[in-house]
A and B are shown apart, each in its own frame.
Chain A
Amino acid sequence: GAVVSQHPSRVICKSGTSVKIECRSLDFQATTMFWYRQFPKQSLMLMATSNEGSKATYEQGVEKDKFLINHASLTLSTLTVTSAHPEDSSFYICSATVGSMNTEAFFGQGTRLTVV
Chain B
Amino acid sequence: AQTVTQSQPEMSVQEAETVTLSCTYDTSESDYYLFWYKQPPSRQMILVIRQEAYKQQNATENRFSVNFQKAAKSFSLKISDSQLGDAAMYFCAYNGYRDTGRRALTFGSGTRLQVQP
Residue numbers of A with Cβ under 8 A of B are 32, 34, 38, 42-46, 49, 57-60, 91, 93, 95, 100-105, 107, 109-110
Q: For A38, list chain B residues within 8 Å (CB).
A: 43
Whether A102 pairs with B95 at a CB distance below 8 angstroms is yes
B43 near A109: Cβ-Cβ < 8 Å:
yes
- Name B residues whose Cβ lies closer than 8 Å to a Cβ of A: 33, 42-45, 47, 50, 52, 91, 95, 98-110
Select B42's contact among A58, A101, A109, beta carbons within 8 Å: A109
Q: Supply 28 A–B pairs (Cβ within 8 Å), ascending by A.
A: A38-B43, A43-B107, A43-B108, A43-B109, A43-B110, A44-B45, A44-B91, A44-B107, A46-B104, A46-B105, A57-B100, A57-B101, A57-B102, A59-B98, A60-B99, A91-B43, A93-B45, A101-B33, A101-B95, A101-B103, A103-B50, A104-B50, A105-B47, A107-B44, A109-B42, A109-B43, A109-B44, A110-B44
Which residues of chain B come closer than 8 Å to A57, judged between CB atoms? 100-102
Residue in A closest to B45 when the chains form the complex, CB atoms:
A107
Contact B110 A102 (CB under 8 A): no
Contacts across chains A and B counted by CB atoms under 8 Å: 58
Q: Contact between A34 and B104 (Cβ–Cβ < 8 Å)? A: yes
CB–CB A102/B104 < 8 A? yes
- Tell me the complex Cα distance, A104–B95, Å: 9
State the Cβ distance, A95 to closest chain B Cβ, in Å: 7
Closest beta carbon of chain A to B36's beta carbon, Å: 13
Which 8 residue pairs across A and B have the least CB separation, nearest first? A107-B45, A49-B102, A43-B107, A44-B107, A57-B100, A102-B103, A43-B109, A110-B43
Expressed in whole angstroms, the Cα–Cα distance for A44 and B50 within the complex equals: 18
Query: Across the interface, which residues of A come within 8 angstroms of B45, CB to CB?
Result: 44, 93, 95, 107
**Are A49's CB and B104's CB within 8 A?**
yes
